[in-house]
């Protein structure tokens, strides 16, 4: 099972996953947390919301935050969720935006940001596709991210202490080879 963010079907699933222990099982356990723990929802001040959007590269257009300024049919970017993803006590946020012009066949893009000790927001990962946080982990308790989209073999990125980098390809929890 994976924890998805982005498309309507995944967003609908988030409500039920965040409501119980299922998320703890879906995410696996961070080294700092018990397997049954669920990352608690966090709220951001208006100033932090603005800082998240700006760190994600968004600008405001007619009162809407936009990452892909060239997207003709985009509805703007949104902060999909805010949680302490790696157990360090500081919030992480996922910003998503839909549209095929900038995000290709996946139809969505995401940016994962983390609030740093100095209060600034840092981009941890950004990609075209739908991020799914897996129950496998990289350095510092950061979960691996499967970047979903059309097809059946998705790249999985792992945090190496400096950046999220390609680690493997998977489909439904099993390694695979992407078509060439």
pLDDT recorded at residue 101? 60
Would you say 155 and 132 are in contact if contact means Cβ atoms under 8 Å apart?
no
The mean pLDDT of 159-169, rounded to a whole number, is: 97
Q: Which of 91, 130, 146 is nearest to 114 (CA)?
A: 91
Digit-coded pLDDT (tens) for 43-82? 999 999 999 999 999 989 888 898 877 766 767 898 999 9
Q: Which of 76, 152, 142 is nearest to 108 (CA)?
A: 76
CA angle 30, 38, 20 (to 5 degrees): 145
- Unique residue bearing structure tokens 């995410």: 27
pLDDT recorded at residue 166? 97
Digit-coded pLDDT (tens) for 73-117? 767 898 999 999 999 999 999 998 876 666 667 778 899 999 999
In the DSSP assignment, the letter for residue 163 is -
Whether 33 has a pLDDT exceeding 80, the answer reads no
The whole-angstrom separation of Cα 149 and Cα 155 is 10
Higher-scoring residue by pLDDT: 67, 160:
160
Digit-coded pLDDT (tens) for 134-150? 999 999 999 999 999 88
The whole-angstrom separation of Cα 180 and Cα 169 is 13
């Amino acid at each position: 099972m994976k924890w998805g963010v982005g498309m309507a079907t995944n967003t609908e699933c988030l409500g039920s996953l965040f409501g119980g222990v299922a998320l703890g099982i879906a995410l696996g356990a961070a080294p700092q947390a018990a397997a049954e723990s669920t990352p608690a929802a966090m709220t951001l001040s208006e100033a932090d919301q603005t800082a998240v959007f700006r760190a994600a590269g968004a600008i405001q257009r007619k009162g809407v935050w936009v990452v892909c300024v060239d997207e003709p049919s985009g509805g703007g970017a949104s902060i999909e969720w805010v949680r302490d993803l790696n157990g360090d006590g500081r919030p992480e946020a996922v910003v998503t935006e839909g549209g095929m012009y900038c995000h290709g066949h996946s139809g969505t893009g995401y940016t994962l940001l983390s609030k740093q000790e100095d209060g600034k927001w840092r981009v941890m990962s950004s990609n075209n596709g739908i991020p799914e946080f897996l129950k496998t982990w990289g350095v510092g308790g950061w979960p691996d991210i499967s970047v979903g989209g059309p097809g059946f073999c998705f790249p999985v990125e792992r945090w190496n202490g400096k950046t999220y980098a390609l680690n493997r390809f998977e489909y439904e929890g099993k390694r695979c080879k992407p078509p060439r």
